[in-house]
């Protein structure tokens, strides 16, 4: 498996770590390739990891990063060494753009190795990754040219950084990526539909939801989902604008329910100060895995107010496995995880429909046990492994 980082940095990294463990538990000889980074976990081939790149701090770093995005330099040489030594049947790509390079898939394909690529974000369609422009969904670059990234300076408002993203998109275009990839693995139907609309071959696109890692699965399975719920609802996630957290807090301030907010991010300090006088909003900060389980298990409702194209958010998956219903924005892959028995959807960017969804959900008698049972089966490692083995890896 190939991912730019090899530690639990974000959702993509967590999926990589969980999948690595899943493969080994099922008798597969699995190894990881990544970029060298101080926080990385120990790995068998870490001496052959690509050198670290940093896109900040001057022209030298930007040039080094540009070489990496174009597949030049040590990444080609180092990954070839790993292929020579490990001789894999499958190379499973995850988030590889910029800090690594799609050249790794090309090198594997030329050897006749099956190449699977899990699509965690929208980089293959949007040079910026997230399909956002001025805080709203944008699809200008999904088809054909990618000039929008230059026109709008989408990468941190910087023309040089946006130029690097444009060059990367031009070199690693759809036709080239398609030629070197056997399966584009989409965690949501929404992502699969966007890939198809962007011109990717439907025959190479498969859908498979993320799964809950075995440790958390055991934690949720060992607890009684029918235990009394406490009188609060929660938000568990990143405190950043695209997650809709500002709208949620402004809505919560006028509702008669207690909201617990778990997570950190760029807006944490600002939001703590702004809502310090709201007695019904409690900031918990960053929590460890056990802390997240505890918050979700006690809540009557989990709110996912995203304003971006979420793929297959683990925040929804974990909540349902805890038996906790979800009130989620009708955007991205969120609605396909929610039905009339496990939650409710509301319009993104609409605080009135959010308030109505929260109010109705807090008053409803939910079948927490049934929500958990269905989710634990749907998102179990066993279910995921069977699909990986037979439909994706073709072992």
Q: At 221, is the pLDDT very low, low, confident or very high (cuts 50, 70, 90)?
A: confident
Q: Which of 221-235, 288-302, 340-354, 371-385 bottoms out in mean pLDDT, i.e. has the lowest?
A: 221-235
Q: How many CA atoms does the CB half-sphere of 365 hold within 13 Å?
A: 0
State the average pLDDT over residues 243-247.
Answer: 97
Amino acid 5: pLDDT: 97
State the average pLDDT over residues 354-360.
Answer: 98
CA triplet 264, 345, 124: central angle to 5 degrees? Answer: 65
Give the span between the Cα atoms of 58 and 136, in whole angstroms: 30
What is the percentage of the chain residues whose pLDDT exceeds 70? 99
Amino acid 164: pLDDT: 85
Amino acid 241: pLDDT: 95
Amino acid 59: pLDDT: 75
Q: Which of 66-70, 335-339, 384-388 bottoms out in mean pLDDT, i.e. has the lowest?
A: 66-70
Give the tens place of pLDDT for each residue, 248-287: 999 999 999 999 999 999 999 999 999 999 999 999 999 9
Q: Are 123 and 97 in contact, with CB atoms under 8 Å apart?
A: yes
Q: Average pLDDT, whole number, for the chain?
A: 94
Query: Which of 304, 321, 313, 311 shows the shortest CA–CA distance to 383?
Result: 321
Same fold, 11-211+380-392 and 214-378: yes
Amino acid 143: pLDDT: 82
State the average pLDDT over residues 294-315.
Answer: 95
Q: At 225, is the pLDDT very low, low, confident or very high (cuts 50, 70, 90)?
A: low
The residue whose two tokens read 């929500």 is: 371
State the average pLDDT over residues 314-322.
Answer: 93
State the average pLDDT over residues 94-123.
Answer: 96
Amino acid 58: pLDDT: 72
Q: At 158, is the pLDDT very low, low, confident or very high (cuts 50, 70, 90)?
A: confident
State the average pLDDT over residues 145-158.
Answer: 92
What would the two tokens of residue 28 be? Answer: 């597969």
* Pairing relationship of beta strands 136-137 and 233-236 according to DSSP bridges: unpaired
Q: At 10, is the pLDDT very low, low, confident or very high (cuts 50, 70, 90)?
A: confident
Label residue 75 exposed, middle or buried (CB < 10 Å: 0-12, 13-18, 19+).
buried
Q: At 395, is the pLDDT very low, low, confident or very high (cuts 50, 70, 90)?
A: confident
CATH code, residues 11-211+380-392: 3.40.50
Q: At 326, is the pLDDT very low, low, confident or very high (cuts 50, 70, 90)?
A: very high
- CATH number, domain 214-378, options 3.40.50.2000, 3.40.50.410, 3.90.79.10, 3.30.43.10: 3.40.50.2000
What is the percentage of the chain residues whose pLDDT exceeds 90? 84
Domain residue spans in the chain? 11-211+380-392, 214-378
Task: Work out the number of other CB atoms within 10 angstroms of the CB of residue 233.
Answer: 23
């Amino acid at each position: 498996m190939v991912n730019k980082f090899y530690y639990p940095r974000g959702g993509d990294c967590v999926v990589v770590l969980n999948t690595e463990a899943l493969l080994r538990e099922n008798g597969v000889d699995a190894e990881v390739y990544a970029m060298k980074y101080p926080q990385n976990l120990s790995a068998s081939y870490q001496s052959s990891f690509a050198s670290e790149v940093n896109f900040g701090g001057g022209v030298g770093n930007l040039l080094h990063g540009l070489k990496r995005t174009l597949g030049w330099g040590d990444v080609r040489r180092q990954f070839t060494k790993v292929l020579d030594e490990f001789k894999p049947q499958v190379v499973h790509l995850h988030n590889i753009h910029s800090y690594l390079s799609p050249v790794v898939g090309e090198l594997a394909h030329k050897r006749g190795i099956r190449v699977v690529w899990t699509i965690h974000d929208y980089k293959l369609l949007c040079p910026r990754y997230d399909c956002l422009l001025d805080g709203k969904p944008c699809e200008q670059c999904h088809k054909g040219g990618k000039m929008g990234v230059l026109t709008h300076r989408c990468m941190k408002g910087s023309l040089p950084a946006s130029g690097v993203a444009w060059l990367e998109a031009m070199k690693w275009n759809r036709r080239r990526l398609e030629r070197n990839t056997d399966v584009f693995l989409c965690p949501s139907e929404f992502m699969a539909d966007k890939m198809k609309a962007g011109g990717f071959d439907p025959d190479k696109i498969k859908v498979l939801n993320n799964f809950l890692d075995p440790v958390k699965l055991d934690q949720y399975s060992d607890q009684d989902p029918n235990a009394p719920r406490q009188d609060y609802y929660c938000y568990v996630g990143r405190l950043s604008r695209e997650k809709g957290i500002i709208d949620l807090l402004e809505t919560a301030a006028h509702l008669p329910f207690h909201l617990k907010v778990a997570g950190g991010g760029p807006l944490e300090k600002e939001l703590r100060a702004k809502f310090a006088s709201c007695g019904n909003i409690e900031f918990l900060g960053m929590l460890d895995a056990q802390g997240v389980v505890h918050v979700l298990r006690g809540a009557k409702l989990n709110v996912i107010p995203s304003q971006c194209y979420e793929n297959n958010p683990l925040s929804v998956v974990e909540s349902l496995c805890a038996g906790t219903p979800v009130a989620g924005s009708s955007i991205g892959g969120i609605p396909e995880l929610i039905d009339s028995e496990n939650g409710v959807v509301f319009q993104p960017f609409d605080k009135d429909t959010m308030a109505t969804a929260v109010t109705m959900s807090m008053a409803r008698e939910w079948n927490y046990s049934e929500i958990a049972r269905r989710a634990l089966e749907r998102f179990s490692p066993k279910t995921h492994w069977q699909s990986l083995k037979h439909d994706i890896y073709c072992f």
